[in-house]
């Protein structure tokens, strides 16, 4: 079962996308986008895991300690930051949507409005 963690990441991506397609509420859509995006954390951390490895910090462990791959962990940090800012921006858009169009159902936003 050496591919199982990778498959879990793919499943999280698909279930998030499914939620976005079926969504009737912009806030729900944004939540599903966050779920779909979190699949990348699982994939990155699964790629970087090393058997028996600990966290890549050497402040109180000897330098010979086996650690997991720190490169993907740094990428996951970048991912979290970008994900949080995108969520904030989309939620701000959802607030404006409710104010200007009176609805946050993506299906009822059909016409352009000046």
Q: Which residues sit at the interface with another protein, rule CB under 8 A?
A: 2-7, 10, 14, 17-18, 21-22, 26-27, 31, 46-51, 55-59, 63, 67-74, 77-78, 80-82, 85-89, 91-96, 98-99, 102, 104, 107
| CB 11, min distance to another protein, A | 8
Q: Do the Cβ atoms of 8 and 38 come closer than 8 Å?
A: no
Considering the complex, state which of residue 107 and residue 112 has its C-beta at the smaller distance from another protein.
107
Q: Do the Cβ atoms of 20 and 107 come closer than 8 Å?
A: no
Task: Tell me the C-alpha distance between 19 and 40, whole Å.
Answer: 17
Distances (CA, A) of 13 to 1, 9, 28, 110: 20, 6, 15, 27
| CB 41, min distance to another protein, A | 14
Task: Tell me the C-alpha distance between 24 and 28, whole Å.
Answer: 7
Considering the complex, state which of residue 35 and residue 86 has its C-beta at the smaller distance from another protein.
86
Q: With CA atoms as reference, report the closest residue to 27 among 107, 109, 110, 87.
A: 87
| CB 110, min distance to another protein, A | 11
Considering the complex, state which of residue 110 and residue 112 has its C-beta at the smaller distance from another protein.
110
Considering the complex, state which of residue 17 and residue 35 has its C-beta at the smaller distance from another protein.
17
């Amino acid at each position: 079962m050496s591919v199982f963690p990778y498959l879990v990441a793919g499943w999280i991506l698909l279930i998030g996308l499914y939620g976005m397609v079926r969504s009737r509420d912009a806030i729900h859509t944004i939540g599903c986008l966050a779920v779909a995006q979190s699949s990348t954390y699982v994939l990155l951390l699964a790629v970087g895991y090393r058997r028996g490895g600990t966290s890549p910090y050497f402040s109180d462990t000897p330098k010979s300690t086996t650690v997991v791959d720190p490169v993907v962990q740094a990428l996951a940090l970048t991912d979290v930051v970008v994900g949080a800012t995108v969520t904030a921006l989309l939620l701000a858009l959802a607030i404006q949507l409710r104010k200007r169009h009176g609805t946050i159902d993506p299906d009822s936003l059909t016409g352009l409005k000046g």
